[in-house]
Amino acid sequence: MNSSVIEGDLYDPKIAYFSMEIGLETQIPTYSGGLGVLAGDTLKSCADLGLPTVGLTLLYRQGYFRQEINAEGRQVERPVEWDPSEKLILLPEKIVLNEIEGRDILVQAWVILYRGIRGDRIPILFLDTCIEGNRDEDKELCSSLYSGNREFRLKQEILLGIGGVKFLRALRFHNIRTFHMNEGHSSLLTVELLRENQRALSETWDETAQWDLESVRSNCVFTTHTPVAAGHDRFPFDLVERVLKTEIPLDLLRELSGEDQLNMTTLGLNLSRFANGVAKRHGEVSKEMFPLHLIDFITNGIHTYTWVHDQFGKLFNQHIPLWREDPRYLRQAEILPEEEVWDAHLDCKRELLEHLPEGAGFDPNLLTLGFARRAAAYKRANLMFQDPNRLIKLAEDSPGLQIVFAGKAHPKDEAGKEIIHDIHEKIAILQGRSKKLKIVYLPDYTMDLGFAITGGVDVWVNNPIRPYEASGTSGMKAVLNGIPNLSILDGWWVEGCIEGVTGWAIGGLDPHSELPDEERDVLDANALYDKLEQKVIPTYYQDRPAWVAIMRHAIALNASQFHTQRQMEQYVTKAYFRR
């Protein structure tokens, strides 16, 4: 492909979407989890809607990591092996980035042109420093995602933010009206925009007034995804002063990002015209965390056409043909014939069982719960094992209970890795005590595996500690395929749950933050067991029409609303065209 296809004379983007990770498909392993997959789904809907957008991230030649589980039930990380040239096209342009420790670093970019459902295409750029002539340490900047120490992370974020803007200019993209920062990792793009808008000292006669903050602010939008304080990137200013070489005075950076440390979220918020959380509840939490800023909310969604299984796509085509024009038409799912819904679901379930290890012994007719997401402590993947005896009783008092787990822990998250180990220990113990309880943990949670699980289980379980679930898009993928959620009321489920209609809540809205952690976990686990015992298991095994009705409600009331087409239309009206 000739690079002129995406240069400014033939393509004129008005929106630049920056994200540290973008997940388009398993075979392009430049994502770790929900943030990256959300970014990919967002850009796909930009293409579907014909929004003049360019996406920008880094190329990770070793991906995030490939997860193995050893004989002791512990996570082992391996580098991902992939060849970017099989999926992406290398552009001939190169830029020189000299903001990292003041030396020249060559930067190139790979591109994929994503085609939307109406034929519109948008470029997604992947910056890369693995170029002959660069130092080995600079080549390593694009080795893997979320690896290295704090200094390495700062260098990557300089490359993404400052290098990203410079590369857009090299492609002659000079008419961008909105720079959208998907989390704080890319907030240093504001530093490059400040430099671009620097006034001459002879014009202002004031060194401070040289920096046109309002001009930058008028062109930036910021989305925060992190309701946990520790999740916001911060860098000590002695490190910043040593690594970041820019014309922007350090005193101004302190004013914009914090006196003690460079807080990337604060920097992004201070230089944006619009900021939002990713669910109504998360917007409220974000305002509490950053009370000096106006923070709205736009609830996340999923890319409907990526995450729908063929069985349900065909069903929708037959009975709701307009759904491909607009996922809101899925509200008509109430008319789907009961037997056709159930048959489509069983087909999806059989496909999931093909991913299970030989000898797992899962039966497609038995109730199957799914729990798959990043293995972080606050997500409490092992909450279901809080009372092993009660879990066994739930299985023994019914025809059977099956559970599918999956999820990676960050390589440096020892607490998350310990949760994975704990689950494997519990599986070994419990399955020796009950033949009716079957549990499996599937390694290497990728987009492909996520697709299989979110479409193939019967119930999607989510039990984070409130209010730490920003959104929770995996549950949205489940409802698209008729799978109801059984979840803590946090993130998107506060908006999506209609008790007994679209699924079920675990407990209420009270986070019980006054309780010790152990007491809170016991309370939530008992609420989970109660709902399984009193509602989920009896309905599944004793009332098929009622169960299928819940499946249809999940599609009609949840899937018709929680998608990235609606999400992006809200960004357009609330953020992109707002001044």
Average pLDDT over residues 32-45: 96
Quote the distance between the C-alpha of residue 529 and its chain's center.
28
Note the pLDDT of residue 284. Answer: 95
pLDDT digit string (tens) for 491-517?
999 999 999 999 999 999 988 989 999
> 371 pLDDT exceeds 50?
yes
CB 145 within 8 A of CB 31: yes
Q: Supply 253's token pair.
A: 């950076």
Q: Supply 550's token pair.
A: 């819940």
| HEC letters along 17-73 | EEECCCCCCCCCCCCCCHHHHHHHHHHHHHHHHCCCEEEEEECCCCCCCEEEECCCC
Buried b (16+ CB within 10 A) or exposed e, 212-223: bbeebeebbbbb
Q: Supply 69's token pair.
A: 């589980």
Q: Supply 319's token pair.
A: 């009975």
Domains defined for the chain, CATH in brackets: 3-301+567-576 (3.40.50.2000), 317-458+511-562 (3.40.50)
Q: Which residue has the higher pLDDT, 329 or 512?
A: 329
Average pLDDT over residues 444-454: 97
CB 108 within 8 A of CB 90: yes
> 402 pLDDT exceeds 80?
yes
d(CA 39, CA 31): 9
Note the pLDDT of residue 66. Answer: 95
CB 59 within 8 A of CB 91: no
pTM: 0.95
pLDDT digit string (tens) for 187-241?
999 999 999 988 776 676 666 678 899 999 999 999 999 887 777 899 999 999 9
